[in-house]
Amino acid sequence: MSLLENVSLRAWTVWQRNRDVFFVTWKTNFLPPFLEPVLYLLAMGFGFGILVTLPDPYKNVSYAQFLAPGLVAISAMYGAFFECTYGSFVRMHYQKTYDAMVATPLTIEDVITGEILWGATKSLINGTIVMLVIAMFGLASFPGLLLIPFIALLAGLAFGSIAMIFTALVPNIDSFNYPFFLFITPMFLFSGTFFPLDVLPGWVRDVALGFPLTHVASMMRDLSLGMLSWSALYSLVYLLVITLVAFYGAVWLMRRRLVS
């Protein structure tokens, strides 16, 4: 585990750098993660949702209530995934920010850790904003609601680490189309975000159960509908394992890419 020995608290200075940039440019950063879920909620939840009757155990739940925590989960996924793909690639490749950082006592492992922590922070910010929106529409209930930002942060660590793996591998910025079409879009659609997984054929459902977003959405839905059960614990552990494996992989691949 020698790679992890190179991670230090100095990683926070990378996080601080990104936070400072965020506060310089927040006016352009702030609206999109907030507007998109609102549009989805209006069109799908309140519009399309009129046509929908949900199966058990969601018989007494409106479609908007079902969909709302899924939207929080999606915004948490996008927060870290965009940040640690496009954002990180721009810093690494175009701005040479990483080169500048590793000329200081920071190690490449510190830099990658700081980047992923910042990605997770974006998930926390975006997830919390969307959570507040669904709360205002009366689509989530106390007290489970209050734990949703914590799940968003954890989701951010997982998706930030996974994103960083792609960033370490892609030859150029256009190549991010592949992880987005082949990984993010299927997850967006088939992670129990828009409909319960039980309606899927067996094998598709099994694949979907492997998606990290499935577990994020499921935990958030349980919390927001007040239906928390032991399965949430399984989801939590699954997400933690994915995060650790992806984090280690990201650091290893980034070292391979950047240190020569």
Binding site for another protein (CB under 8 A): 10, 13-14, 16-17, 20-21, 24-25, 95-97, 99-107, 259-260
6/62 with CB nearer another protein: 6
110/222 with CB nearer another protein: 110
Helix spans in the chain (H): 2-5, 11-24, 26-30, 32-40, 63-82, 88-89, 97-102, 108-136, 148-169, 177-179, 185-190, 202-210, 212-225, 231-258
Least distance in Å: CB of 51 to another protein? 46
Greatest distance between any 2 Cα atoms in the chain: 59
**DSSP states along 73-105:** HHHHHHHHHHIIIIIHHIIIIIS-HHHHHHTTT
17/221 with CB nearer another protein: 17
25/53 with CB nearer another protein: 25
> Can you tell me the distance from the alpha carbon of 148 to that of 156, in angstroms, rounded to the nearest whole number?
12
Least distance in Å: CB of 13 to another protein? 5
99/198 with CB nearer another protein: 99
55/105 with CB nearer another protein: 105
Least distance in Å: CB of 35 to another protein? 23
Least distance in Å: CB of 172 to another protein? 18
- In the structure encoding, which two tokens stand for residue 167, read together? 């960033």
Least distance in Å: CB of 18 to another protein? 9
The answer to whether residues 15 and 260 touch, using CB atoms and an 8 Å cutoff, is: no
61/102 with CB nearer another protein: 102
Burial of 203 (0-12, 13-18, 19+ CB in 10 A): exposed
Least distance in Å: CB of 17 to another protein? 5
> Can you tell me the distance from the alpha carbon of 110 to that of 99, in angstroms, rounded to the nearest whole number?
13
Residue given tokens 């968003």 in the structure block? 152
Least distance in Å: CB of 26 to another protein? 12
